[in-house]
Amino acid sequence: MATGKVRYWAAAKEAAGVAEEPFDAVTLGELMTKITQNHADLARVVRRCSFLVDGAPVGKRPHDQVVLADGATVEVLPPFAGG
14: domain CATH number is 3.10.20.30
Closest CA to 46 of 4, 7, 78: 78
In this prediction, residue 80 carries a pLDDT of 76
Answer yes or no: is 19 within a domain. Answer: yes
- Note whether residue 9 is domain-resident: yes
Tell me, yes or no, whether 82 lies in a domain: no
pTM of the model: 0.92
Position 1 scores a pLDDT of 86
Looking at residue 31, its pLDDT comes to 98
> Number of folded domains in the chain?
1
Residue 83 lies in a domain: no
Task: State the pLDDT at residue 82.
Answer: 53
- Strands of the 2-8 sheet, one edge to the other: 20-25, 2-8, 72-77, 50-53, 56-57
Residues of the chain under the 50 pLDDT cut: 83
Q: Which domain holds residue 24?
A: 2-63+71-77
Please tell me the predicted confidence (pLDDT) of residue 79: 87
